[in-house]
Amino acid sequence: MSTTPTRVVGYLRVSTQQQADEGVSLEAQRTKLRAYAVAMDLELVALCEDAGVSAKTLQRPGLRAALELLEQGKADGLVVAKLDRLTRSVRDLGELVDRYFHSRFSLLCLADSIDTRTASGRLVLHVLGAVSQWEREATAERTRDALAQIKADGVILGREGFGWKRGVVDDAAPRLGKQPIESEALTIRRLVEQRNVGRTFVQIAALLEAEGHATKRGGRWHPTTIQRILRRERDHENDP
């Protein structure tokens, strides 16, 4: 009894530098995918192409079109001549596996002998997925450790708050830390003083505007800005 051929959409990609390279040109990929479809009894429903496009992102017109054909039920799998035509990023491959090729659709790759319709092909893809997960976790771990060390060294992260700027702290071991800005410190004392005598955030904002106090980035004073600065000052005072 005959079986229905698997419907696949072919995806092709070349970057600008690779367009003339032997074996990866669009025409070479088209030829390989068509021959592979015939040899493996696949129904090649479409060829989607990205020319002169980097693999650094998954937001490529040709790739999005190919994946859309899968979502629309017009194809059961994706076929590529080589895995790096699909992506060069282990992380992006992991995302594609999680969203499309773990169980919903098939992935076939000529050069890398991947065919997730078979047990061995699924095993290869699972290994690649495990490597991708490891890379994500290892990257997150390295980032967390690096940030912890930076903080331990006294480096201030995030945007500069009102009243201070980044600068070299003059001590036995110079490091990048907080340096006060006297003009902004005077403004902070002024708004704290006004809050202590019972003025609202709206009234304080209007007063600072009238007196010509500058904001951090040259905009207008807003009640939420006053509230944020006062909260930060209160939290600073409560720090042990």
Q: Which residues are catalytic?
A: 15
Query: What tokens appear for 10 in the block?
Result: 């072919």
Q: How far is CA 180 from CA 169, 217, 238, in A?
A: 11, 16, 19
Cα(101)–Cα(95) distance, integer angstroms: 9
φ and ψ of 114, to 5 deg: -105, 125
Angle, alpha carbons 23-25-30 (nearest 5°) = 90
Q: List the beta bridge partners of residue 107.
A: 78
Neighbours of 185 (CB within 10 A): 13
